[in-house]
Amino acid sequence: MKVHVTVVLCSLLAVVEPALAQDSTASKTFLTKKDLAYAGLALGGTLALSYFDDDIARASQKPRFQDSSLHRLALNISHVNETTLTLAGIASYGVARLFHSATATDITLHATEAVVLASVASQLIRGPLGRTRPYVTHDSDQYRFKAFAGFVNDTSFNYRAFPSIHTSSSIAVATVLSMELHRRKPGAAKFVAPVLFAAALLPGLARIQLDQHWASDVAAGAFMGVFSGYKVVSYSHAHPDNWFDRTLLSASLLPDEHGRMKLEYNHAF
């Protein structure tokens, strides 16, 4: 199991590193044809990993991984989810606005936007797809799906495994923080980013240990998180006149000394 976790983390960092090295060139639309290629590669990798899902699930339920202290730790880590991260983001945004910190307001807004985007997109996938959670199949059938069962019956939670929203939410925050740090302190980002992503992967790993998700659910959630965080940050900075930044950052689009348009933050509400 440790080998598979290491592979997932290394693959995740390999995907993220190019995003840190460049903010996307300005595109007229939020989604591009290149995004479809990235989604295809992510889907292919997820399908390949799914072959090992049942093995990883059974390994995660062995007594050495189900020790009471580890189980309690996993339960505590699993509280880091889309709800807590969204509320924390909103609270942090409010504090940043209160103290008139343009940088903190910018970062907390984008982090919250990325969590919401990743969560909504993941819900739109998992409900119709209806992938069965591992505890329902006793960790034996990772390819059991019930189309739209994630929406329509009393046990719908049992059929909302793919992708992991715990993972997409935490990885979205790590992506935003890493990219925003790279914009301001590129030298520090290469040291901080691996720590952020390793920590962000913990809620997903905890959900595997709790028998709530297959490993491929976590991998798909990681892609959703990276994609959402990257698109929010890159698009926002490439299009500073977007409605969210102009409105929620209390900023005005003004020309700089070279005649280029940029956002000037207002310090009053």
Query: 173 near 200, Cβ under 8 Å?
Result: yes
Q: Higher confidence at residue 228 or residue 247?
A: 228
Distances (CA, A) of 255 to 81, 252, 260: 40, 10, 5
Query: In whole angstroms, what is the distance from residue 93 CA to residue 252 CA?
Result: 18
In single-letter form, the type of residue at position 178 comes to S
Average pLDDT over every residue of 96-121: 90
Pairing relationship of beta strands 251-255 and 261-265 according to DSSP bridges:
antiparallel
Q: Is 254 helix (H, G, I), strand (E, B) or coil?
A: strand
Query: In whole angstroms, what is the distance from residue 148 CA to residue 122 CA?
Result: 14
The CATH class of the 2-15+32-230 domain is mainly alpha
Phi and psi dihedrals of 252, rounded to 5? Answer: -120, 145
Q: 236: closest CA among 120, 114, 83?
A: 114
Q: Higher confidence at residue 155 or residue 145?
A: 145
- Indicate the helix (H) or strand (E) that contains 127: helix 102-129
Position 257 confidence tier, pLDDT thresholds 50, 70, 90: low
Query: In whole angstroms, what is the distance from residue 147 CA to residue 127 CA?
Result: 8
Query: In whole angstroms, what is the distance from residue 217 CA to residue 223 CA?
Result: 10
Per-residue pLDDT, 253: 42
Query: 263 near 246, Cβ under 8 Å?
Result: yes
Q: Is the pLDDT of residue 267 over 60?
A: no
Position 223 confidence tier, pLDDT thresholds 50, 70, 90: very high
pLDDT digits (tens, 9 = 90+) for 84-99: 999 999 999 989 888 8
Q: What are the sequence ranges of the domains in the chain?
A: 2-15+32-230, 239-269
- Average pLDDT in the chain: 82
The runs of H, that is alpha helices, within 22-145 are 33-50, 53-60, 68-77, 82-98, 102-129
